[in-house]
Amino acid sequence: MKPKVLPIQINGGLSDRDTGFWGDSVKGRSKTIFWGLRSGRRALALESSFLEENPKADPKTVASIILGGGAGTRLYPLTSRRAKPAYNSFSLNRHLARTYNFGNGMNFGDGFVEVLAATQTPGDTGKRWFQGTADAVRQFIWVFEDAKHKNIEHIVILSGDHLYRMDYMDFVQKHIDTNADITVSCVPMDDSRASDYGLMKIDETGQIIQFAEKPKGSALKAMAYLFSDYWEDIGTIKSFFDANLALTEQHLKFDLNDPKTPFYTSPRFLPPTKVEKCRIVDAIISHGCFLRECSVQHSIVGVRSRLDYGVELKDTMMMGADYYQTESEIASLLAEGKVPIGVGHNTKISNCIIDKNAKIGKDVIIANKDGVEEAERADEGFYIRSGIVVLLKKTTIKDGTII
C-alpha cells in the first residue's frame, strides 16, 4: 500500500470541528479510501489504495491434456511399432496401465489419468478423424463439461513429444495474474533452429502481437509465458538422440537426480547391473545389465543389456531388452551360429541408436564412416537418419557386418 497526501475541497460531509472518514471510491479490484483532517473548508486527505491480490492457483481446479502427436514420421523407424501418435496406441495404453495403475501402491494424490482415444461421433463433422492438435482438443471439450469435472477452471495443453522440466502451477499462476484468455509457454530460439518451430512475437509486457502463421478472425487476447528452464523438442531422430546423450554429460542441463523434482517410473524389480573389468566414462547404465571387459563412453545402456568382452560403445543409445536369455540359451544359439540378444565380442559401435531386443553379432563395426546422412535399409535391419545409424527393433546384425 502506498498512501499519499493531497489537498481537496470539501463540499460537505464533515463540519469544521469534525475529523474522520467521509467517503470511499471502489473501482475494479482497487479500493481508495479518504481520511480527512479539519482545516476550514479545505482539508488534507490521506488517499490509500488497497489492491486485492490475485487468487492462488489451485491444482484441484486444473486439468491437463497431453497430446499424443501426429503420425510420428520424423521419429521413424522408432515409431514403426510403438506409439508416439494415436495411430498405434497399444504400447501407449500398456505403458499408462502399468505406470499409472493406482492400485499398485503408488499414490499421486487426487489426480487421475484417462486415455482419450481418437474417435468418431454422429454427424458430418464427427465422422472426420482429428484434423490436427487443436481439433483433437476441440472434439473432447465435452469431457470437461462432465459433472465430475465441474470444478475445473483451467486446462493446460501439453505436448507429448517434448522433454522439459516445468512447474505447471507457476505457469497457471502467470495465466491468472495476467488475466489472459490464453497463455502460451515459449522459449527464445536462435536462427539456426527457428524454422523448425512455430514463431511468435511478443511486446515488452509479454503480450503476443504476431504469430508466424497469422490467425484469422478477430484479434485474440493472449499472453506469452517466457519459460527459462530446460526444454527440448524430441520429435526427430537427431533431437531425440542428442537429448538422451546429453544426460550422460558432466554439466547437466536436465538432471534426473534433482531432489526438488523427483521422477517416478514403473518398478521393474531387476537385479543390479554386473560389471566385470570395464571402462565406463560419462555413461548411464540401467538395471539388470551384464557388462564384461568392454568400453562404454558417452552412451546410454538400457535395461537387461548384454555387452560381451571387447565391445566398444561410443556416442550410442542402446535401449536394452524386454526379457532375458539364459546362459544356456545364449550358448546354444552361439553353437548353432545364431546371434543372441545383446552385443557380441569385439564389436565396435558409434553414433548409433540400438532399438530393443536387437541381436548384434561378433566383430561387427557400426560407424557410418562414409558419412551417409539418409538411408533406408530395412531389409538389412537399419536406417540412417541425420547421419545416425538406427538399428531396428528385434533386428539381427550378423557376425562381421560393417555399416
pLDDT, average across residues 381-388:
95
Whether pTM > 0.75 for this model: the answer is: no
Q: What stretch(es) of the chain map to CATH 2.160.10.10? A: 257-397
Rounded distance between C-alpha atoms, residue 224 and residue 207, angstroms = 6
- Joined together, the cell numbers standing for residue 174 give 502467470
pLDDT (tens digit per residue) in 387-400? 999 999 999 999 99
CATH architecture of 59-238: Alpha-Beta Complex (3.90)
More confident residue, 260 or 10: 260
Q: Is the pLDDT of residue 290 over 90?
A: yes
CATH no. for 257-397? 2.160.10.10
- Phi, psi for 78 (deg, rounded to 5): -65, -25
At 107 the pLDDT is 59
pLDDT (tens digit per residue) in 6-53? 444 444 444 444 443 344 433 333 333 333 343 444 444 444 444 557
Q: Is the pLDDT of residue 92 over 80?
A: no
Spatial CB neighbours of 2, under 8 Å, sequence gap ≥ 6 = 49
At 101 the pLDDT is 65
Preceding amide of 271 cis, omega within 30 = no
- Other C-beta atoms closer than 10 Å to the C-beta of 254 total 15
At 213 the pLDDT is 59
Half-sphere exposure of 179 (CA within 13 A, CB side): 4
Q: What stretch(es) of the chain map to CATH 3.90.550.10? A: 59-238
Rounded distance between C-alpha atoms, residue 262 and residue 227, angstroms = 20
More confident residue, 303 or 199: 303
Which of 29-38, 103-112, 157-166, 168-177 is predicted least confidently? 29-38
In the chain, the percentage of residues whose pLDDT exceeds 90 is: 38
More confident residue, 48 or 257: 257
Q: Say how far residue 280 (Cα) sits from the centre of its chain.
A: 29
At 19 the pLDDT is 41
Q: Is the pLDDT of residue 69 over 60?
A: yes
Q: How far is CA 195 from CA 22, 154, 198, 238, 336, in A?
A: 62, 31, 8, 16, 52
- Tell me which DSSP letter residue 39 carries: B
- Other C-beta atoms closer than 10 Å to the C-beta of 318 total 28
| Beta strand spans in 212-344 (E) | 222-226, 231-233, 274-276, 279-285, 290-292, 295-301, 306-307, 312-318, 342-343
pLDDT, average across residues 128-157:
78
- Other C-beta atoms closer than 10 Å to the C-beta of 57 total 19
CB-based contact 197:189 (threshold 8 Å): yes
In the chain, the percentage of residues whose pLDDT exceeds 70 is: 73
Rounded distance between C-alpha atoms, residue 330 and residue 179, angstroms = 63
- Return the H-helix or E-strand segment holding 290: strand 290-292
State the maximum Cα–Cα separation within the chain, in Å, rounded to a whole number: 112
pLDDT (tens digit per residue) in 308-333? 999 999 999 999 999 999 999 999 99
Residue with cell 541408436: 353
Rounded distance between C-alpha atoms, residue 18 and residue 199, angstroms = 63
Rounded distance between C-alpha atoms, residue 365 and residue 402, angstroms = 5
